[in-house]
Structure 1
Amino acid sequence: MKNIKPYLLKQDTRFMELLCPAKLNLFLHVTEKRLDGYHNLISLMCLISLYDKISITFDTCETKMVCNYPGVPEDHTNLAWKAAELFLRKADIRENFEIVIEKKIPAGAGLGGGSSNAGSVLMAFNSYYGNIFSSSKLMDMGLSLGADVPFFIFQKPAIATGIGEKLEACKGIEHFYVVLIAFDFIVSTANVYKNLKLGLTKCKNIIKSSSFKEQGFNLEQHLCNDLEMVTASDYPDINAAKKALLDHDARGVLMSGSGPSVFGLFPDLYQAEKAVKSLSKNERWTLYLADLII
């Protein structure tokens, strides 16, 4: 695989500024629990045009991180910081850095913001230091940080299997505008998986009867998420948001990842903008308008 560059905005001798896109799970079927505690799955993931912005200064006097989003760590526990340290260790480079994150992707929302930050940092450091590592090696490094990180280095709509690390490009996805609803609460991914009853998952029959791998993604057939039932049972806002999006002419609605964010897919920009304007009146919901990056 050739080296893939990050979504670069600006670069000079010691500075890079880049965008980190969010992701949606258009399909998520959990197949089994593994002996190591992780779960195997089949998922169709796609990037969307909702971005965090990261600024990196290289070879600084001290290592530092700043983030504008309340509650996001500004130290070595942040995935972006971990990614930078991992790269430098693997490359045997001893330098300090400064990372500034301007978050627009809501944290803990099932949209992969932290994983996107980590993947983007790995690509940025690799580009800055002359593409020391191949993209496949960067993806291996990313997997040690989190199951979703390799996807943000892959940078294409993908069918993910295993724990999410085995990626195969998925072509033929139709373009849609995305109306995203985020809430003022977060969910624990670990708890969602813990409470998942594998025998009751509903996406298994869909993937058996009509595979998007062979036939292409069909919105009416394939939009499904096994984790939604678990999260929605604890948070009524999820089903309320889905209904509201359908009432505003979304072609399909779903929760992304382990949630709690809910998205609606619209073929028409006017209808999407109209939905955002109307649903923004709910003060407990935060609305975003984006589109699928295909």
Structure 2
Amino acid sequence: MKNRLQHDAAMLRVQSPAKINLFLHVTAKRPDGYHDLYSLMCPITLSDTLTLTFGHQGVGLTCDHPGVPSDERNLAWRAAALFLDRMPSGEGVHILLEKRIPVSAGLGGGSSNAAAVLTALNRRSGCPFSLKILMEMGRSLGADVPFFLLNRPAIAEGIGDRLTAYDRLDRFFLVLLGFSFGVSTANVYKNLNLGLTKCKKANTSFPLEKGQDFDILQYLCNDLETVTIHEFPEIDAAKAALMKHGSAGALMSGSGPTVFGLFHTAEKRDHALASLSAMGNWRAYSAELMVRPIE
């Protein structure tokens, strides 16, 4: 994905990448009901496509996925409305959203869509808002939106909106196994028992300093698995299948249910993809880590 944005005078076409959590440690429950976390997030090459056309009244949105709302419940719609409210031009926008990222799957698709809209409208308007201001706007839409505005691997803290860019990841090839069912992130956090979390190692020993030895395979851990796997044992079966087919490591992303496997070579990834596509009650996707800043 060398170019995230293509445009002419009346149209913008934007690629909107998914993300995975290479580790996710929940550190505490906050007084406001949210949870503090410590997570390494990375964009991946699995992406949605958004086409923005101009010359319309207000904000409109259509999507090729029947389960995705096409009104103010959609984060991309809300991002456009927020930007046009802050930067009124009298010109509306219509968004065509072509989904490839699974919905309610722990991959951040909705947040990525919102970030893509903010970025595209900002560029079309001559970049009136700095990245800092865009990230403040994005934070009002959702905790993961600032990450997608940053467009690079990052350590996420707080509710996921305090970000430190992290550029020491090696290249990995991915197989993702997605399911027909979605997961409510709010319900997963509601049912999380902090006494059972097990990913403290990531928070206490993850090497942030340059020059330290680093192997992400030593840190693959997700505290939210304890909740989601209890309800959906298919996730555990998917992790086992990925490991059986040559994955160097496998983990659920975010609140799930999507599971990813990391492979050292494209050949090993493609071999596993072919085998896993023919089995299980999942859909298999091919992707790569986007380990450098996205242009």
- Give the distance between the partners of 2:214 and 2:30, measured in 1 at CA: 27
Residue 76 of structure 1, CA deviation = 1.6
Structure 1: state its 5+ residue gaps.
none
Of 144, 159, 167, which aligns to 1:163? 159
Please give the residue correspondences for 1:137-148 in structure 2 after superposition, counting only pairs within 5 Å.
137-148=133-144
Q: 1:60 — aligned with what?
A: 56
CA RMSD, Structure 1 to Structure 2 (Å): 1.4
- Give the distance between the partners of 2:90 and 2:215, measured in 1 at CA: 49
Of 216, 221, 225, which aligns to 2:218? 221
- Give the distance between the partners of 2:182 and 2:214, measured in 1 at CA: 29
1:212 to 2:207 alignment: yes
Give CA-to-partner distance per residue, 1:108-156, whole Å, 9 cap, x none.
0000000000000000000001101001100110000000000000001
- Give the distance between the partners of 2:85 and 2:57, measured in 1 at CA: 18
Q: 2:123 — aligned with what?
A: 127
- Give the distance between the partners of 2:129 and 2:55, measured in 1 at CA: 19
Q: 1:256 — aligned with what?
A: 253
Q: 2:111 — aligned with what?
A: 115
Please give the residue correspondences for 1:26-105 in structure 2 after superposition, counting only pairs within 5 Å.
26-61=22-57, 63-105=59-101
- Give the distance between the partners of 2:214 and 2:289, measured in 1 at CA: 13
- Give the distance between the partners of 2:201 and 2:218, measured in 1 at CA: 11
Structure 2: state its 5+ residue gaps.
none
* Aligned length in residues: 288
SS where residue 146 of structure 1 aligns?
A: coil
1:287 to 2:284 alignment: yes
Q: 1:234 — aligned with what?
A: 231
- Give the distance between the partners of 2:271 and 2:101, measured in 1 at CA: 21
For the 8 Å contact 2:201–2:219, the answer to whether it is kept is no
- Give the distance between the partners of 1:109 and 1:94, measured in 2 at CA: 36
1:245 to 2:242 alignment: yes
Of 176, 179, 202, which aligns to 1:180? 176
Against the structure 1 CA distance between its residues 198 and 75, is the aligned structure 2 distance closer, same or farther, given a 3 Å change threshold? same
Q: 1:23 — aligned with what?
A: 19
- Give the distance between the partners of 2:185 and 2:70, measured in 1 at CA: 21
Residue 280 of structure 1, CA deviation = 0.8
For the 8 Å contact 1:180–1:261, the answer to whether it is kept is yes
- Give the distance between the partners of 1:217 and 1:119, measured in 2 at CA: 30
Of 9, 13, 17, which aligns to 2:9? 13
Against the structure 1 CA distance between its residues 188 and 216, is the aligned structure 2 distance closer, same or farther, given a 3 Å change threshold? farther
Against the structure 1 CA distance between its residues 90 and 216, is the aligned structure 2 distance closer, same or farther, given a 3 Å change threshold? farther
Against the structure 1 CA distance between its residues 67 and 102, is the aligned structure 2 distance closer, same or farther, given a 3 Å change threshold? same
For the 8 Å contact 2:47–2:101, the answer to whether it is kept is yes
Identity between Structure 1 and Structure 2 (%):
53
